[in-house]
């Protein structure tokens, strides 16, 4: 597409940058609390929280505190919270039975939040790494992550999450065929309204380390995840994975990580025209916090700039650990 404009001095683009109100008037993309999904880490216990050392400002919290946090998020206009469990070591196993325990941490938390804050959406991750003694997203045998055997466990996990009241399931395991298996299971078990936000383009990234600390998977992980998560150099493959997941029944798609993969976000929104989300992952969060702690950046401005980049790339929304803080500041400013 080509454009023809008048030349200087008739055309002075700085006219539209002259004042705050003018910049606000012509801004192409904006952030609101409704753009956010807020990840919350839950743990066992009562009325307690526990800082995640590699994620300054982020804490695991017990279910009662997660209920309070979800209520506060809803009051700020955040539409969805995503729950992730800090599973006790004794509940982890090679068969990942805790993943489909109806009374596991995230299922209990979902029921508690839904009872107290019925109007907020709840998203639950469908993957085995928080429950796996090997730290992987799938069942492991002789060092191999088994695809089809994992699908059977993911199906059971998804159904317990739906039964607990989850509104959105986020399959993040990257096993082949999992969206079709989960969608069929939901339809056959009277959960047709549960949405699937598929982590369709999830890359084998070095940015996930602090998250693995948060869910207690770091020490358990044996080897890498490159045999099932995507190679960082591939863009066309990401489009194929998104197309596959949409054909199998995904309602929305996820790109993870976010900031280093804005090109994938933009391609997805342009080529498929479906709600596309990005995850501003733990490593991105930790880098901002570390640079800020050293006085190298203006923390608040960098946070907003990084989040706005996702909107500019076409994302419908963002999973971000900054969601609550930013939404709170937006409401205060109004």
Residues labelled catalytic: 202, 256
Quote helix, strand, coil % in the chain, to nearest 5: 45, 20, 35
| Per-residue CA distances from 45 to 89, 137, 214, 320 (Å) | 15, 26, 16, 25
With contact defined as beta carbons under 8 Å apart, do 171 and 179 qualify? yes
Residues of 229-262 as b/e, b for ≥16 C-beta within 10 angstroms?
bbeeeeeeebbebbebbbebbbbbbbbbbbbebb
Rounded CA separation 58/249 (Å):
33
Q: Nearest Cα to 51, choosing from 60, 43, 42?
A: 60
- Spatial neighbors of 263 by CB under 8 A, at least 6 apart, are 235, 313
């Amino acid at each position: 597409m080509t454009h023809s404009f008048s030349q200087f001095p008739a055309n002075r683009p700085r006219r539209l940058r002259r004042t705050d109100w003018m910049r606000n008037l012509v801004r192409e993309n904006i952030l609101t609390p409704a753009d956010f999904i807020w990840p919350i880490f839950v743990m066992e216990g009562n009325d307690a929280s526990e800082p995640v050392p590699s994620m300054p400002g982020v804490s695991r919290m017990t279910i009662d505190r997660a209920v309070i946090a979800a209520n506060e998020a809803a009051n700020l206009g955040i539409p969805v919270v995503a729950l992730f469990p800090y599973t006790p070591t004794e509940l982890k196993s090679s068969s990942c039975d805790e993943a489909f325990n109806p009374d596991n941490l995230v299922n209990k938390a979902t029921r508690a939040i839904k009872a107290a804050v019925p109007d907020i959406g709840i998203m639950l991750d469908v993957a085995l790494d928080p429950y796996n003694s090997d730290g992987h997203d799938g069942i492991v045998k002789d060092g191999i992550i088994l695809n089809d055997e994992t699908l059977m466990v993911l199906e059971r996990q998804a159904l317990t999450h739906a039964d607990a009241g989850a509104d959105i399931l986020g399959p993040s395991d990257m096993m082949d065929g999992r969206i079709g298996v989960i969608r069929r299971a939901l339809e056959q078990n009277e959960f047709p309204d549960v949405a699937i936000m598929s982590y369709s383009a999830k890359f084998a990234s070095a940015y996930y380390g602090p998250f693995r600390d948060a869910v207690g998977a770091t020490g358990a992980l044996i080897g890498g995840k490159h045999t099932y998560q995507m190679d960082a150099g591939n863009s066309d493959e990401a489009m194929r994975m998104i197309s596959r997941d949409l054909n199998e029944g995904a309602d929305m798609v996820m790109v993870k990580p976010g900031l280093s993969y804005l090109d994938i976000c933009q391609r997805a929104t342009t080529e498929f025209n479906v709600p596309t989300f990005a995850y501003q992952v733990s490593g991105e969060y930790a880098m901002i916090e570390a640079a800020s702690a050293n006085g190298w950046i203006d923390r608040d401005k960098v946070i907003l700039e990084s989040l706005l980049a996702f909107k500019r790339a076409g994302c419908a929304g963002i999973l971000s650990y900054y969601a609550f803080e930013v939404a709170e500041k937006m409401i205060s400013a109004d």
